[in-house]
Structure 1
């Protein structure tokens, strides 16, 4: 029960890593403001009383002010922010449209910036030693062909995390990120064809694709007091994907 009496805001909370993170924090005692475009799934009976669903498009210009107003009106403090919401648009680099670029940047980068700013203001005003966790991707450091806007935003998110960490450290607020690898979510399932899955399993040293709960466990750690001396860091949760330089099916002799 690391989060008893804590208030957490989790974006992208209707599915995937966001849902798994919200449930993990709830089951460890938190009250969770669950943010998503719309809420389509019921919450488990054992935690539903501490869920506060909030329909919000994180990319909307009014999202951050709306969230800030809601938190100020309903709660006395905010302890945790998990920025999990994210989108992916698949297209070859030469065919990426301005509309797709703008939408991916708005959700994955701009939305994170301004929602974090809104929540951090409240943390600073109340003297809360808050925990902010951003969700990056292994493709911040490993190329992903046909996903240039996505990889650009995840690389930018990691750089932004370090700067936020530097500026908020004097207030006792930590800012970290997790860097998931292949994970089964509503976003990834359409592109995980049998061929893609077989290729991923051959590439990943631990040989499997993660359920979102494995990533949520890392987010919960960075959001907890156990990570009080960690800030500006990025934790790989990728089965070894990013670090592995081996040649599948071959070896030096």
Structure 2
């Protein structure tokens, strides 16, 4: 039985009302939770190690007029992710929008990396995302009103980086998981897309609470600066909104043109220090 919305209900009628953003204690997750907050909406946010950051995000969500829900999520045990999604969906009375922002990474050559570190990154970035995506999709199917799922991947969904073997492998895998989910969930009125950021001024890049516009010269990026988390959140908000009903299975790169620099960077690099993390 198909749960596709009735033809009398146009896709543009969708509005995110019961929203879950994982990894929303800082960075892109925080910016996304705030961007999606609005009067009458419920926004659930999760955190792993920064409860104070989660509390600050929740306060901003409430200032925007939404109801905030907060829960800890530890995806080093990926299967626990489904339970957290289920519990937050129950608090909100359902789920129609899921943004997967939780993630971790490495800066270590693969020859020096042990298997435990590999598994930790892949568990969080890929296995955990799968468990949360599957759980969230089940709630959307049960709700029979369509939905939106967006996974935050990385430019390394598309291109490698020295020192980031498990991160790149996981983000590449997540990108293809998104495409498979987009095919399988479309009949239920659920779209699934990814957003692939480049260098963004967040705690993960060591730039927490720093402006990407001041004193940040990046010759290897055409726009010559890092991005702001709110610039990524704006793309996510569009994909979660009523105007993105025909966007499905796509990867939206938000990187200031970084990925276009392959041949250009190759012809201009003058040192071999790129070979080390």
TM over 0.5: yes
Task: Kindly state the Cα deviation for residue 47 of structure 1 after the two structures are TM-superposed.
Answer: 3.5
SS at match of 1:210: coil
Q: CA RMSD in A?
A: 2.6
Deviates most, 180-189 or 35-44: 35-44
CA distance in 2, matches of 1:5, 1:145: 38
Q: What is residue 23 of structure 1 aligned with on the other side?
A: 34
Task: Kindly state the Cα deviation for residue 126 of structure 1 after the two structures are TM-superposed.
Answer: 1.2
Deviates most, 31-40 or 240-249: 240-249
Are 1:179 and 2:196 an aligned pair?
Answer: yes
Q: Which of 126, 134, 148 is 1:131 aligned to?
A: 148
Are 1:114 and 2:131 an aligned pair?
Answer: yes
Task: Kindly state the Cα deviation for residue 140 of structure 1 after the two structures are TM-superposed.
Answer: 1.8
Q: Is 1:132–1:176's contact at 8 Å kept on the other side of the alignment?
A: yes
Q: What is residue 52 of structure 2 aligned with on the other side?
A: 40
Q: Is 1:176–1:231's contact at 8 Å kept on the other side of the alignment?
A: yes
Q: Deviations over 1:193-243 (max 9, x none)?
A: xxxxx9971111111101111111111111111100010000110001112
Q: Which of 224, 236, 256 is 1:219 aligned to?
A: 236
Q: What is residue 193 of structure 1 aligned with on the other side?
A: none
Q: How many residues align?
A: 244
CA distance in 1, matches of 2:29, 2:15: 19
After superposition, residues 80-95 of structure 1 pair within 5 angstroms as 80-95=97-112
CA distance in 2, matches of 1:134, 1:142: 17
Deviates most, 63-72 or 221-230: 63-72
Q: What is residue 62 of structure 1 aligned with on the other side?
A: 80
CA shift in 2, pair 1:176/1:156, >3 Å: same
Unaligned 5+ segments in structure 1 are 191-197
Task: Kindly state the Cα deviation for residue 250 of structure 1 after the two structures are TM-superposed.
Answer: 7.1
CA shift in 2, pair 1:173/1:5, >3 Å: closer
CA shift in 2, pair 1:249/1:177, >3 Å: closer
Q: Is 2:39–2:65's contact at 8 Å kept on the other side of the alignment?
A: no
CA shift in 2, pair 1:226/1:67, >3 Å: same
Superposed structure 1 runs of 4+ greater than 6 Å apart: 2-5
Q: What is residue 210 of structure 1 aligned with on the other side?
A: 227
CA distance in 2, matches of 1:95, 1:28: 50
Q: Is 2:155–2:253's contact at 8 Å kept on the other side of the alignment?
A: yes
Unaligned 5+ segments in structure 2 are 1-12, 208-214, 269-277
Q: Deviations over 1:62-99 (max 9, x none)?
A: 22124214423x23321110001110121011011111
CA distance in 2, matches of 1:200, 1:112: 33
CA distance in 2, matches of 1:3, 1:168: 16
CA shift in 2, pair 1:54/1:3, >3 Å: farther
